[in-house]
Structure 1
Amino acid sequence: MPLHRFFADDIRALRLGTDGFEAGSERERTARLADRAARSALPVLIQTEAGSGATALARAIHGSGERKTRSFVAFRTNEALSGRDTQEAALLRHMKDARGGTLFIEDVGRLSGHAQERLAESLFRQDAGPRAGRRLDIRLIASAGFDLSENVREGRFREDLYYRLQTMALALLPLRGQRDVIAEWAGLFARRFASDEGKTIRGLSADALSLLSRYDWPGNLRQLENAVYRAVILADGAFLTPSEFPQIAAQVEGFRIDIPPLPSVRALAPLRAQEPGAKHDPHALSLIRESGDMLTLAELEERAIRFALVHYQGHMSAISRHLGIGRSTLYRKLKELGLNDAAA
């Protein structure tokens, strides 16, 4: 089974498995543990670097388990809290929202001491069985960096909570540790974004795949996804080439792509009369279709929201703040666009 099956949008309808993995490989071990985790009720700890796909793997485990028809609620510890809200209070709300389903805590090592205490109390009540007072029925999945044990030694993370999470621990390799799947991921993202943008892109050229496989991807899957998205926006041909990845090429020996300077303020006015398909700033949203007709305001708004989802990596607080709309309005628009899953 291809690795991306762990993370596909419709994974909740699929069973995890290990077919197609090289016997004895790190990916096979992760797949077997993930499959075992999906069939158990134990807390799961996904140890990995930021951006490596922990949220998607958590969704896959949830979607292949007994609670797949119930809520999957994600709590991101690095999101800023508003007003007088505390991390502990926000965690308690998310726990209640996940009742009967799965609560995923991203970067659990960032939890405050009070929030850790609340989480530990909930887990220990579940261990005590239904007779324990105020038992909260949730499946817990958390992600953390590989340095969580160091946080325990330094007294910044509860030892009892750490060992409770370690009951079912998975190690998810960063992208540079599994270069053989970079081409597959890039192709998956390219097809998805090409479909979203109404472009006919058949794949990536051999040179582009060579470039991407030689880069270390410190931002992991999130960075690769953003890079492919920008490449699709830039692309004029049927295949993505190194020219569509100038920032990556500039950092890989043997590849050099000249990035044209941004236009001056004086040069912006004549651009309105350019022909469709003219080269433009890769970060700009086009106002016209290939036919030469202008986009409607609704179409421009949809493109801006889709771009913000990728650019701010699905963090709803950042997206609503930078788009200048309230979170409730953002969630309503996501629902209207069929992007509900992005808000989880």
Structure 2
Amino acid sequence: MPLSRFFFDDIRTLRQGAAGLVAGSEREKMARLADRASRSPLPVLIESEPGSGAKALAKAIHESGDRKARSFIRFQAEDAHARDDAETAFLRAVREANSGTLFIESAEHLTISAQDRLMDLLAQQDAPSRMARRLDVRIIASTGFDISERVRAGHVREDLYYRLQALPIAIRPLRAQRENVTEWARLFAERFATDEGKRIRGLSADAVALLTRYDWPGNLRQLENAVYRAVILADGTSLTPGEFPQIAVHVEGFRVEVPPAPIMRTLAPIRAPEAASRPDPHAVSLLRDGGDMLTLAEIEERAIRFALMHYQGHLSAISRHLGIGRSTLYRKLKELGLSDAAA
């Protein structure tokens, strides 16, 4: 389940007044801010570190508002900054988002010409009637940088900065909200266990201690990937430190050693593989629980999911190492419902 669905479900839970959100929690705070933003046409500026879920939150705001049936267009300003056609690319994204939402990622990297165009667009939003507007686009921007520094340095227009801050939302890095790590991990584990058909009831006390002591430089995206990998590796009914070897090696007192794969004798009869007490975290199983082999399509899906986690959603790295083109990769991600996890 994409991260955006968690944010969307939180907004829906808040509106329904149903149980599920603890009053005063970080999730409730984010849900209230997102709900307020979804009910307003004003620009939104999401300030967060990479991997904190800015894109997922932006999409949840879009899906919760009156434009949910329209386009949600993502424009990566940092990628476009060095291109000769940066302004043209931005204008194309604006046109594609007409009547929908334009999500500008890393807005601090917009070129000056693109900033001028954006200011023109925002000025149109002040028109007294829709008839006076050439384009009707909801603007949501994100920044992983202290954008005020870019303003002082002259790289970002000051008036644009204040326009984008009409509805500011700040997402704290995961290391600054360790009290919420367990809640997020359990949510991810529940959803992924359901998706994978595994009977996992939660996390052991040692696993909770491990996850809350780690700094999570990749924030929610890294936690989501770590829990997904743990669910795939798990043989028991709860997740333990043994399912988080890539995290345990960075936390003192939790180092987990993965035993080498056993050497099979060539003359020995072929037997169904036995479950290892600590499975290799880098292995992608070719067998189902009953011992039958997966189909090629299922193997391909597992390989893509693993690559998506291993390369943290970066399409260029994934396509290069899997040996397929970016367009083919993106099509497969869409077919698998994984396109939201791509960077």
Provide the rounded CA distance (Å) in 2 between the counterparts of 1:285 and 1:167: 47
Measure how far apart 1:321 and its partner are. 4.1
Structure 2 counterpart of 1:34: 34
Provide the rounded CA distance (Å) in 2 between the counterparts of 1:268 and 1:89: 59
What secondary structure is seen at the aligned counterpart in 2 of 1:14? helix
Measure how far apart 1:178 and its partner are. 1.9
Measure how far apart 1:92 and its partner are. 2.2
2:273 equivalent among 264, 273, 276: 276
Structure 1 counterpart of 2:239: 240
Provide the rounded CA distance (Å) in 1 between the counterparts of 2:129 and 2:304: 44
Provide the rounded CA distance (Å) in 2 between the counterparts of 1:338 and 1:217: 25
Measure how far apart 1:221 and its partner are. 0.4
Structure 2 counterpart of 1:167: 166
Measure how far apart 1:200 and its partner are. 2.5
Measure how far apart 1:85 and its partner are. 6.3
Measure how far apart 1:108 and its partner are. 1.1
- Unmatched segments (≥5 aa) in structure 2: none
1:179-216 per-position Cα deviation (integer Å, ceiling 9, x unaligned): 22211211122223333333322211111011111212
Structure 2 counterpart of 1:48: 48
Provide the rounded CA distance (Å) in 2 between the counterparts of 1:283 and 1:200: 22
Provide the rounded CA distance (Å) in 2 between the counterparts of 1:268 and 1:328: 40
What secondary structure is seen at the aligned counterpart in 2 of 1:8? helix
Q: What TM-score, normalized by structure 1, do the two folds share?
A: 0.83
What secondary structure is seen at the aligned counterpart in 1 of 2:102? strand
1:250-282 per-position Cα deviation (integer Å, ceiling 9, x unaligned): 322332322446x69xx6997x96743444531
Structure 1 counterpart of 2:64: 64
Measure how far apart 1:11 and its partner are. 3.7
Aligned length: 336
Q: 1:12 to 1:126 in 2, by over 3 A?
A: farther
Q: 1:104 to 1:128 in 2, by over 3 A?
A: same
Give the CA RMSD over aligned residues. 3.5
What secondary structure is seen at the aligned counterpart in 2 of 1:258? coil
Measure how far apart 1:135 and its partner are. 2.4
Measure how far apart 1:100 and its partner are. 0.8
What secondary structure is seen at the aligned counterpart in 1 of 2:142? strand
Measure how far apart 1:13 and its partner are. 8.6
Q: 1:336 to 1:220 in 2, by over 3 A?
A: closer
TM alignment of 1:1-344, pairs within 5 A:
7-8=5-6, 11=9, 14=12, 16-17=14-15, 20-23=21-24, 29-79=29-79, 86-129=85-128, 135-145=134-144, 147-260=146-259, 275-279=272-276, 280-339=279-338
Are the aligned partners of 1:105 and 1:142 in contact in 2 as well (CA < 8 Å)?
A: yes
Measure how far apart 1:35 and its partner are. 2.2
Measure how far apart 1:331 and its partner are. 4.0
Provide the rounded CA distance (Å) in 2 between the counterparts of 1:310 and 1:95: 31
- Unmatched segments (≥5 aa) in structure 1: none
Measure how far apart 1:298 and its partner are. 1.0
